[in-house]
Amino acid sequence: MASQQYWDNAYASYEFANIDNNSTIKDWIIGYIPNGVGKSCFEIGCFPGRFLTLFGDLGYELNGIDLTPRVQNDFPNWLKSIGYKTGEFYMEDFFCYRPKKKYDIVASFGFIEHFKNWDDVFQTHLNWVEDEGYLVVETPNFSGWLQRLLHYSFDLKNYRRHYVQSMDPIKWRQIAEDNGFEILYCGYFGEFEFWVDEPPQSWFRRKLMWFVFKAFPMIKMLPKGRKAYSPYCGIIAKKSRRS
């Protein structure tokens, strides 16, 4: 799994930006999440925050937690500078943090798959959701046979930073339903994509990857939402009102 030093180095000079208008994840979310003026959103592992800006666009107060130092000052100051309403941002260990309240949205993007005890991490997400609030969890999909093959062949170092067994929306669904959540979406999504964290070092692998990339336009013609090759998996669920 990736160390905190890895993330701190990666984010040291990161330039903040809103989520891209053509983002597949943005399109996925806005189909299910309502406007939230007067409501709150909490992102776990929130830095560098491009996904959190989407909830700001929908009117939610923005909150979050991360261990990267810039999360306490640089990040909330940037959010305020572009007009978003901000709440609290914590530079704390997720496993030690105890929230003072629950939130109308609890979200994470590319977070739970970094932990072997991903089910405990997922359960904690659920615990922090307010009644009639929403859970939004997304991870990359390295578990489908084609995505697994490609990442293992050309992106092995990054592949090993992830606990691939966690990338299973069917398991997420069961945990959420057991906690009284209505499932709005659960599965794999997005037109086929493939990316590498670092290009392969050997000439042979770089050349082989070039030939593989030439086949991508044909793969993109296949139906979306299939585990084998979809780039993302996710769940959006709504918590029932407590009786």
Catalogue all structural domains in the chain, each as residue range(s) with its CATH number. 4-148+161-194+225-239 (3.40.50.150)
Write the CA distances from 169 to 16, 50, 121, 146, 165, integer angstroms.
Answer: 30, 23, 14, 17, 10
Q: What is the pLDDT of residue 226?
A: 94
What does pTM read for this prediction? 0.90
Cα-Cα-Cα-Cα dihedral sign, residues 132, 171, 136, 33: negative
The pLDDT averaged over each successive group of 10 residues in the chain (243 residues) is 58 76 92 94 92 95 92 91 95 92 97 95 97 97 95 90 95 97 97 86 80 85 92 96 60
Q: With contact defined as beta carbons under 8 Å apart, do 125 and 166 qualify?
A: no
Q: What is the pLDDT of residue 243?
A: 37
Q: What is the pLDDT of residue 233?
A: 97
Q: With contact defined as beta carbons under 8 Å apart, do 89 and 65 qualify?
A: yes
Q: How far is 133 from 52, CA to CA, in rounded Å?
A: 16
Q: What is the pLDDT of residue 2?
A: 56
The b/e string for 179-203 (b: 16+ C-beta within 10 A; e otherwise) is: bbbebebbbbbbebbbebeeebeee
